[in-house]
Amino acid sequence: MYLISIFLLYFYIFQNFVNSDLFTSSVDLQQLTYAEKDIPKLITNYIQLETERLEHLKSIAEKYQQNNEEMQTNLLSVSNPINAFRLIKKLAQTWKDLQAEMRSDIAGSYLQNISIQKGSRFPTDEDLNGAAVGLLRLQDTYRLDTGDLANGVVKNVKIGNGMSGWELIFLFLKFLIFGYTAPPLPSLSSSSSFLHFWLYTWPSNNINFFKCISRLRKIYDGHDEVRNN
């Protein structure tokens, strides 16, 4: 019953934080598990569509290669003004068709059709941010142990696998941005190490990194390890 209350609180927080009304109930999340199972089939079907499109382009190339060979044997035909007009007209239309074929956004149309048919969509970055903040608020409200939570344990109950390093980095960055009582990492030492790893892995994020360090210093004012970073 206690765990049920925790997850009900989580969904309440999540629903009030995220602008979208999707992924805020167990039904929505269950739909995501079905969507994940469909991914291999979706990719296979898309590959088939792309293969058919490329085969069509290949047939067009072979057709015009044959036409070019025939034209080489009858170059004098273009000296006829009517034939010249027809050639220009033909190539103008051909170029338009080729451009449309090669620029065909099969992927975009395919994904849009999937969303319409299934009546759902895949999560966006906004949804992911909402899920992260919901988890942080859950931890902050119930004062959940950071080490346990990172290992998939809530109040001495194993509820799932532990978090990966990338997941911890992501949650810790959200913690620094939004500010919560307890950082979602087992220790301050681990937090600092993860931040340094993040800095050297994604140099383009240096500005955000230094903002995070500044926030970390305010939280742990006087801590030697933070002050020296």
Residues of the chain with CATH 1.25.40: 125-227
pLDDT, position 20: 44
CA distance 61 to 64: 5
pLDDT, position 223: 46
pLDDT-derived band at 42 (thresholds 50, 70, 90) equals confident
Plot region of 182 (φ>0 → left; ψ -120 to 50 → alpha; else → beta): beta
Mean pLDDT for the stretch of residues 74-79: 62
CA distance 210 to 135: 24
Check pLDDT > 60 for residue 18: no
Check pLDDT > 70 for residue 19: no
Taking the whole predicted model, whether its pTM rises above 0.85 is answered as no
Q: Are 185 and 150 in contact (CB under 8 A)?
A: yes
**Each residue of 45-69: pLDDT tens digit?**
888 888 988 888 888 888 877 776 6
pLDDT, position 72: 62
Cα–Cα nearest to 143, from 107, 188, 180, 174: 180
Write down the mean pLDDT value for the chain: 67
Longest dimension (CA), the chain: 90
**Each residue of 125-157: pLDDT tens digit?**
788 888 888 777 777 777 777 778 778 888 788
Mean pLDDT for the stretch of residues 12-34: 55
pLDDT, position 127: 80
Q: What is the Cα 11 distance to its own chain's centre?
A: 22
Mean pLDDT for the stretch of residues 161-180: 73
Q: Which CATH class is domain 125-227?
A: mainly alpha
pLDDT, position 186: 46
Check pLDDT > 60 for residue 40: yes
Q: What kind and span of H or E run contains 112?
A: helix 106-118
Q: Within a 10 A sphere around the Cβ of 208, how many other Cβ atoms?
A: 15
Check pLDDT > 70 for residue 195: no
In the chain, pLDDT over 90 holds for what percent of residues? Answer: 0
Q: Hey, is 217 helix, strand or coil?
A: helix
Q: Are 184 and 172 in contact (CB under 8 A)?
A: yes
Check pLDDT > 70 for residue 164: yes
pLDDT-derived band at 9 (thresholds 50, 70, 90) equals very low
CA distance 28 to 147: 29
CA distance 206 to 187: 23
